């Protein structure tokens, strides 16, 4: 038996045989029972062709991520797959963990959570040349996961990663931030602020209805493909992925590996927004006279409103967006 103290935790290693060890983590700090439970983990110390570094937001998906982690770690233990488990404990922690791991050559980081967790991880990575990123969706919306066609069952998503077949995704560079799915402003931001600020479990759709009742047009100035124009809009999105808010299809044909962005501006036709909403929810707003769609590689959107990247709110960020082609090394989905 060996004992070590790491970051305030007492680590006790019980050796059962040469092929594996059980790692029991006993907290010396005051943590709630949930964190204590998931810091008590089993890691099989065997030699495999790679080590998986799981970065997990166990609060994702209202408990869904907790169940997924158990299934994933059980599968790894059963098949002698080496892994380390990094549980995020506060907002931004996932980025800190990813930054540290990305300094190590040939690192595999697997983000387990929702779009927000994915967003944190890719923004934390300091050296993309060192890292291959895997994604296992366990959030509420999973909008990026739908575009990427990740498997819904966590173990099936893990199996795609374990096959080791490599591909590349584009991402959006927005100032000093990175965005996987959609960057935008307008009503979608107000809806997100209402959801995040509520003590109740408001859904995106319920919040959208509330925002519609209090709607005022959002003023934006857009520079794209050498032209600058101003609009009164319901919302504007710069899309690498297809959907926001739990599969509301802002750009149904966007692709995450085609080397271009899709700019979508939903204007206010004749001052009335009610007729627009059903079409927007189903993706049928594209092609309507009140929707502007422009493929591009870069776009500047100026607005006094807060913006969102992958559903994360930024209050002092300008949507100065550029496509980074094949910027993320990841795993093929089979």
8 falls in which pLDDT band (50, 70, 90)? Answer: very low
Q: What is the DSSP string of 261-285?
A: EEEEEEE-GGG--TTHHHHHHHTTT
| pLDDT tens digits, one per residue of 121-139 | 999 999 999 999 999 999 8
At 229 the pLDDT is: 98
User: What mean pLDDT value characterizes the chain?
Assistant: 84
Q: Give the pTM.
A: 0.82
- Beta bridge partners, 221, equal 230, 302
Q: What is the DSSP string of 236-258?
A: EEEESSS-BTTTB-SSTT--TTS
**Could you give all domains of the chain from N- to C-terminal order, each with its CATH number?**
2-171 (3.40.50.10330), 182-325 (2.60.200.40)
Q: How far is residue 62's CA from residue 7's CA, in Å, rounded to a whole number?
A: 28
Q: How far is residue 90's CA from residue 226's CA, in Å, rounded to a whole number?
A: 41
Q: What is the mean pLDDT of residues 108-127?
A: 96
| pLDDT tens digits, one per residue of 41-100 | 433 333 345 799 999 998 887 778 889 999 999 999 999 999 999 999 999 999 999 999
């Amino acid at each position: 038996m060996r004992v070590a103290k790491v970051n305030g935790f007492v680590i006790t290693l019980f050796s059962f045989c040469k092929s594996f060890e059980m790692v029991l983590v006993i907290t010396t700090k005051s943590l709630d029972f949930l964190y204590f439970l998931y810091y008590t983990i089993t890691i099989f110390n065997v030699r495999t062709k790679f080590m998986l570094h799981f970065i997990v937001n166990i609060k994702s998906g209202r408990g869904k991520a907790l169940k997924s982690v158990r299934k994933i770690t059980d599968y790894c233990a059963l098949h002698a797959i080496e892994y380390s488990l990094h549980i995020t404990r506060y907002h931004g922690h996932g980025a800190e963990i990813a930054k540290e791991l990305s300094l190590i050559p040939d690192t595999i980081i697997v983000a387990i959570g929702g779009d927000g967790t994915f967003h944190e991880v890719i923004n934390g990575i300091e050296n993309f040349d060192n890292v291959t990123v895997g994604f296992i969706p366990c959030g509420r919306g999973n909008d990026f996961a739908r575009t990427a066609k990740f498997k819904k069952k966590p173990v099936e998503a893990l199996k795609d990663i374990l096959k080791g077949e490599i591909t590349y995704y584009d991402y959006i560079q927005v100032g000093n931030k990175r965005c996987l799915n959609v960057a935008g402003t307008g009503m979608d931001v107000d809806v997100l602020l209402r959801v995040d600020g509520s003590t109740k479990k408001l859904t995106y759709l319920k919040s959208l209805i509330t925002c519609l009742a209090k709607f005022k047009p959002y003023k934006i100035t857009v520079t794209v493909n050498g032209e600058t124009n101003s609009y009164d809009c319901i919302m504007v999105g710069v899309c690498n992925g297809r959907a926001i808010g739990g599969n509301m299809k802002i750009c149904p044909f966007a692709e995450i590996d085609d080397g271009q962005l899709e700019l979508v501006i939903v204007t206010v036709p004749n001052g009335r927004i009610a007729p627009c909403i059903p079409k927007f929810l189903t993706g049928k707003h594209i092609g309507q006279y009140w929707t502007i769609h422009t493929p591009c590689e870069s776009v500047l959107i100026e607005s006094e409103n807060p913006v969102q990247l992958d559903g994360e709110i930024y209050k002092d960020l300008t949507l100065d967006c550029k496509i980074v082609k094949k910027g993320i090394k990841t795993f093929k989905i089979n």
